[in-house]
């Protein structure tokens, strides 16, 4: 297998991320780095820290195909299925972004895809998955109930499960975000990433660990969806009942891979309230002219509210991980946003 990893030790070889980037070239978009001087001024007001160049950098994965980073891991995972797995078809479980990514990747590869989504899934995300050609099954009031239905359908139909975060190939694909950040900002000191199951944050942290060990990677979770921090605190996988407005971060647990990689490579995780996260959505819309879903704005919100330990002169990059927000919800979300000091 071209993506080299050790299941027993839960390690991914550094060269796996280079191979992942080569395999994904032409399959996914190479997203730009945006900048915001206003965000840096807010950071100064909140934390008393002067950032290098007087700017905050933002990796614009919300501009990725399907509107989130998830297409990276999904494309890589499907590309490495064997012929029998491709013929049998695949199944995914997701509140939206991973489902859309699997639907698109499967359609491009000529693979049948089934995606299971909770009944609470945003309608626009459901419609997108259907438009991409996947069979959508809506089931359960919670992600956990949808997960149980996915397992039942997978077994009955003999489908290959494409895990949303806890698979080394998926993590290697998501980690290419970190490879690109380092190519565009070689002296980056800090990367801040929203955390659901942890695949993106742990992928980026693992990719950067040998390329630039001095770079710290911090994760950001909603207070009402803290699967990875709970697992790290308990040193074992912990089921949680997520309920955040940031539905893209509502993982019911963090898996063995993300627990191991998070323990090894993340500098830390902070948690935010939903109104604090929505403050990031509002700032991005008003001051950066970028439409983010709540999950996609969590990293930005964390630095704006002064929750991440920062140092003078650092180059800081936040990841805008997704932009799939239902237009009819935007007004209500912005109305709930917590104020940000310094604005």
Catalytic residues: 70, 321
Nearest residue to 120 via CA among 298, 278, 225, 243? 243
Kindly give the interhelix angle for 168-184 and 199-211, rounded to the nearest 10 degrees: 60
Q: What is the rounded CA–CA span in Å between residue 99 and residue 116?
A: 8
CA atoms within 13 A on the CB side of 16: 27
**Burial class of 328 by CB neighbour count within 10 A (0 to 12, 13 to 18, 19+):** exposed
Question: 14 vs 167, 211, 309, CA distance in Å?
Answer: 16, 8, 27
Residue 167 to residue 62: CA distance in whole angstroms: 22
């Amino acid at each position: 297998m071209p993506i080299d990893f050790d299941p027993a030790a839960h390690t991914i070889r550094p060269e796996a991320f280079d191979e992942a980037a080569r395999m994904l070239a032409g399959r996914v978009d190479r997203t730009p780095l945006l900048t915001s001087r206003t965000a840096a001024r807010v950071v100064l007001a909140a934390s008393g820290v002067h950032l290098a160049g007087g700017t905050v950098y933002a990796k614009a994965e919300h501009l990725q195909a399907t509107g989130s980073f998830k297409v990276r891991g999904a494309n890589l995972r499907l590309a490495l299925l064997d012929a029998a797995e491709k013929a049998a078809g695949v199944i995914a479980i997701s509140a939206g972004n991973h489902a859309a990514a699997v639907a698109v990747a499967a359609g491009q590869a000529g693979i049948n895809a089934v995606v299971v989504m909770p009944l609470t899934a945003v309608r626009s995300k459901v419609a997108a998955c259907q438009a991409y050609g996947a069979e959508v099954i809506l089931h359960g009031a919670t992600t956990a109930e949808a997960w149980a239905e996915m397992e039942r359908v997978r077994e009955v139909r003999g489908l290959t499960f494409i895990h949303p975060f806890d698979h080394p190939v998926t993590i290697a694909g998501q980690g290419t975000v970190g490879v690109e950040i380092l190519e565009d900002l070689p002296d980056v000191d800090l990367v801040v990433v929203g955390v659901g199951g942890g695949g993106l944050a742990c992928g980026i942290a693992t990719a950067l660990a040998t390329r630039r060990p001095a770079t710290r990677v911090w994760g950001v979770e909603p207070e009402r969806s803290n699967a990875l921090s709970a697992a790290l605190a308990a040193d074992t996988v912990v089921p949680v009942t997520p309920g955040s407005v940031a539905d893209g971060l509502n993982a019911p647990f963090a898996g063995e891979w993300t627990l191991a990689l998070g323990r090894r490579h993340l500098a830390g995780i902070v948690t935010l309230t939903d109104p604090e996260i929505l403050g990031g959505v509002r700032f991005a819309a008003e001051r950066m002219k970028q439409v983010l879903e709540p999950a996609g704005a969590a990293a930005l919100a964390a630095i704006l509210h002064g929750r991440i330990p920062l140092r003078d002169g650092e180059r800081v990059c936040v990841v805008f991980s997704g932009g799939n927000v239902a237009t009819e919800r935007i007004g209500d979300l912005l109305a709930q946003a917590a104020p940000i000091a310094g604005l």
